[in-house]
Amino acid sequence: MFDIELYKEIWQAISKNKLRSTLTAFGVFWGIFMLVSLSGAGNGLQNGINAQFEGFATNAAFMWTEPTTEPYKGFKKGRSWNFDNSDMESLLKNVPEIEFLVPRLQALQQSTANNAVYKDKYGTFQVQGDYPNLAKVEPFKMARGRFLNEIDIQQNRKVCVIGSRVEEILFDKKDNPIGKYIRVSGVYFKVIGVTSPDLDIQIGYDKKEAIHIPFSTVQATFNYGDEVHYFSFTAKSEYLVSDVEDRIITILKNRNDIAPNDLSAVGHINIERQFQIMSKLFLGINILTYIVGLGTLLAGVIGISNIMLVIVKERTKEIGIKRAIGATPYNVIRQIIMESTILTLSAGYVGLVLGILLNEGLGAALSGDASEIFLNPGIDLKSGLSSLLILVIAGALAGLLPANRAVRVKPIDAIREE
């Protein structure tokens, strides 16, 4: 039952020494403020990075060639080499754990100055030979048109997909590039699609400044023979990328006379492992956040408990009189614990609200292009309610020791005390 007199008495006890109550509550305020602010900032960082990798295959890996570092089968170290079409066919045949295999050509000879021309406009862009399955590994959002398809590959079509920056430089805003022909290194290609400017992940090249041409067309048109400069693959859901990766490297070394102990000849990056590292990083950040926040909060609670002990000692005579006129131990314990809880909850609630407002302010200030890796900082409803529950429990615990001290006061001794 709600007892208005009890709350008046609690308010009088807290406000009797405003400065002491404020300084005591500050520790709890700062603890919950730190907890909410750091947790919200950590969530914002995690949201931003996750958004950057949105649509990216997490079970993927990339491989490329590097000069050999070990002599083998009569070959000296430092030998340059390339993958080829037969390597890709062998991998598909002998590694059934592969879900998608995506060979690529980085047409460096065609990425020279002013390599793309449309009417009187020109620019320098990166020319890539690609397969349609590239979209299975990397996120590709289309602003208009379509990406490459299998028919483009089979028929060696002279078509291309251009990045948003390529469109901006070669075409007027009023022009629709779809169906237009651009000249790339002296060869005309029909534009069939434009990628979205909202592509953030860059794997070795800038998608906004790339020209994607069918892989087979680049090999045939620009005399690359059967070269493959690098490739990506995804593993089937029931397999780990690292296990598939090791099998692929072994096959490639055997086929290309690379020493088994040459650890550098096949360059590779395991995206699955990178995601695991990031997950552990965010877990560590969250643990550190809670250690700092809860540690500070605990220090504040201990401070409140100590001050409540002082208050109980100051009010020994008052407590003795209450006991003498019929107050039960429950009444005394309830009042002390409620004083501690209200003081803790009030300070903590202010810290919680200010922490949320700080996160909202950071989110608004860093919106748009201001930050690429900080998105929607803040805590969810569950975390907010959990914080309030922590405050209530902390307040009750802070009042337990002073309450026990108060209830042990003998009425006759308290009344005699000057």
- Does the pTM surpass 0.85? The reply is no
CA distances 339 to 8, 15, 20, 307, 311, Å, are: 11, 11, 14, 11, 11
Look at residue 250 in the predicted model and tell me its pLDDT. Answer: 93
Q: Of 170, 162, 231, 149, nearest to 196 (Cα)?
A: 162
Please state, rounded to an integer, the average pLDDT across all residues of the chain. Answer: 82
- Distance, in Å, from the CA atom of 241 to the CA atom of 259, rounded to the nearest integer, reads 23
pLDDT digits (tens, 9 = 90+) for 130-189: 999 988 887 778 899 999 999 999 999 999 999 999 999 999 988 899 999 999 999 999
pLDDT surpasses 60 at 413: no
Strand residues in 240-383 grouped as ranges (E): 266-270
pLDDT surpasses 70 at 252: yes
pLDDT digits (tens, 9 = 90+) for 386-407: 777 777 777 777 777 777 776 6
Look at residue 341 in the predicted model and tell me its pLDDT. Answer: 79
H helices of 139-258, where?
150-154, 164-170, 215-221, 241-255
pLDDT digits (tens, 9 = 90+) for 254-279: 999 999 999 899 999 888 887 788 88
Please list, in sequence order, all residues whose beta carbon lies within 8 angstroms of the beta carbon of residue 122, skipping any fewer than 6 positions away: 114, 116, 170
Burial class (CB in 10 A: 0-12, 13-18, 19+), 17: middle
Look at residue 324 in the predicted model and tell me its pLDDT. Answer: 67
pLDDT digits (tens, 9 = 90+) for 368-377: 554 556 677 7
Q: Which residue has the higher pLDDT, 385 or 209?
A: 209
Look at residue 55 in the predicted model and tell me its pLDDT. Answer: 59
- Distance, in Å, from the CA atom of 123 to the CA atom of 356, rounded to the nearest integer, reads 47
Look at residue 132 in the predicted model and tell me its pLDDT. Answer: 92
Among 93-107, 111-125, 210-224, 274-288, the least confident range: 274-288
pLDDT digits (tens, 9 = 90+) for 66-88: 999 999 988 999 999 999 999 99
pLDDT surpasses 70 at 200: no
CA dihedral 397, 403, 408, 414 (to 10 degrees): 150
